Structure formats: C-alpha cells, structure tokens
Structure 1
Amino acid sequence: MENSWGLRIVPLTEEHCKEICSWTYPVPYHIYNWPSWEKMVADQEEFADETLREQQYRAVVDADGEMVGFAQYFPMTGVTRLGLGMRPDLCGQGLGVEFVRTIAAEAKQKAPSNEIDLEVLVWNIRAFRVYQKAGFVHTDTYERMTPTGMETFHCMVWKRLMDKGRS
C-alpha cells in the first residue's frame, strides 16, 4: 500500500520489542505502557514470547526504517482483530490515520475474507476519531475485564479504505 509517510509493515524484532517497552505515554494514556522488557521475558508475556511475536506482531516503520509503532494481528474465526500502538512522541500529530490505514490494509491483504476490527476504550476519544477517519465504524459497546479491572470498550469494524481528503 502506498502512503505519503512511506510506512511499511515488517517483522517485529527483539530490538523493536525492547524499544516498545521503553515508551512512556502521558496520563491518561499511561495505561498503554508496557512492563520492562526483562519482566516481559521473565513472564513470556505477549511479544516476549517468540512464537506469538512471529505469528501476531509486526513493526510499522517509516521510509528510513525507523519504528513508528507496532501492530498485532489477532486471528479469530472470520475476523482479524487489530491491536496497535504508535510511538508516544508521534501521537497527536496528525499521523494516526495513515498509520491505522496501513495496518488495516495489511490485515486485509493477509486474510482477505476476514472482517477487520479493533477495540477502543470509550474514554479514548482521540483514538476513536482516528479510527473513524481511517474507515472504521462503531458497531458495539461492551464491558470486559482488563489487567486493571472492568473497562468499557467500543468495537469498531473496518468498512473501507477511504480516499485521501475524505472523512
């Protein structure tokens, strides 16, 4: 997929993982901070598990090969659920729509018959708006358990890759 930022999806390396674990998001987004890499490895949590990392996780890099974020492609029956994170210093700078579209397009290419969806915490209006502009529509709202307790989420489904300049 062509994009103006030159974004590409590449395998997530251990070096990428260490970098992600060093990211620090400000309040209230701090809930997206990962534990230290050492703790992740000790617990074999998420992308510290090499098999899980190879199967589900990818890095998103710019034209210079610098990591701008990551994606998780969580396979479900007939659905690819996305998880994603953008480098904290890039958040809020108008780069999110292209970032999300790149990740969603890769998911569609990997599993063309699957529906593509994601979950977003209801209070995260900034992310919700980015997902809408990237072509996702709100389909459901529900509560589910998180590491910090029950939280309310919106489920959003990718309907199409919208043309640039359209919202």
Structure 2
Amino acid sequence: MTQKQAMEIAYNWHYDREYSFYDMEADQEDLKEFIDPVKRGSSVYSVMNHHELIGYFTFTQTDAETYDIGLGLRPDLTGQGLGSAFLRSGISFGERSFNPKRLTLSVATFNQRAIKLYKNFGFKETDIFLQDTNGSTFEFFKMVYEY
C-alpha cells in the first residue's frame, strides 16, 4: 500500500450509521499505525480495480501456520453484494503469497452482515472477547478458516 492510498483510506473513507465504527479516525491509535509507513510495514495490501482503490487486506503472521487478516471495502461499495468476491480475492492472494494452514479474523459482534459473509465462506466462531477500541469496550468474535 502506498502512503497516498493509506491517507485516502484513513481520512476519506467514512462508513454509514453503526458501521462508522470502522472509520480509521474512530480510533486514534489505529489511525496512527495505519498512516505510519514504518508501523504499517509490508502487511497491508491495496485492492485495486482498474487503477481504482476499492479496498485493502492486512496479513499478520501469528504462528508458523496462521495468519490473522483484516480487511476493508470502500464504503460506497458496501451492501451491494460484492463482499463474497472481495473476500475470495483476498483469501486467494493470501494463499498464493503465504500458504497458511489457517486464517483468523476478529469482527465486532454487532456486524451481522460481515459475520454472515465470513460464515458463508467457511469461517467458524472460536472465541468471544472484549476489546478496548474507539473510546469504549466492544465485544468481538474471533473466527478461523482452516484449509
């Protein structure tokens, strides 16, 4: 991901209603990490469609066989049935690039739209935990996808 792309996501991507929880500016610590090229490192990848930034994926190795992923689809593209193809493309990239045995992700429990997508793709809930973020404490599911 380029610095220009990171700044675009951080300051110009704003989600509607309860999904504003996922705005980068909602959590100053996450924002600082995302816009700092050193902290962002090589774990964040842009998703492009004909030279247009449409999303991003993060891949962080957590053990020898597991990568934790994060993802974001551009706000104006959400809710249009694109999630499955978007997730599939990111998972395929991760498979080719890292050859993991499993993928994990965390998702806020209120985000039923994303949870349904992840379950349909084959992710399973493995844990529930509380996370301090965005100035409060929120409940999250940890989900895993095994190859």
Identity of aligned residues (%): 30
* Unmatched runs of 5 consecutive residues or more in structure 1: 1-11, 161-167
CA contact (8 A) 2:21 2:134 kept: no
**Greater share of helix:** 2
Taking the aligned partners of 2:138 and 2:57, their CA distance within structure 1 comes to 22
For residue 106 of structure 1, report the CA deviation from its aligned partner: 1.9
Taking the aligned partners of 1:91 and 1:116, their CA distance within structure 2 comes to 22
> What is residue 14 of structure 1 aligned with on the other side?
3
Following TM superposition, where does structure 1 have runs of at least 4 consecutive aligned residues deviating by more than 3 angstroms?
none
Trace 1:104-143 onto structure 2 (pairs within 5 A): 104-143=91-130
Trace 1:32-47 onto structure 2 (pairs within 5 A): 32-35=22-25, 45-47=32-34
CA contact (8 A) 1:75 1:81 kept: yes
RMSD: 2.3
Larger radius of gyration: 1
1:67 aligned residue (53, 56, 60): 53
2:73 aligned residue (86, 107, 110): 86
What is the aligned length? Answer: 144
CA contact (8 A) 1:119 1:155 kept: yes
* Unmatched runs of 5 consecutive residues or more in structure 2: none
For residue 108 of structure 1, report the CA deviation from its aligned partner: 2.4
Q: For each residue in 1:25-83, what CA deviation from the matched residue of structure 2 results, as whole angstroms up to 9, or x when unmatched?
A: 111011111239xx88xx98223221333321110111x12111111112212321111
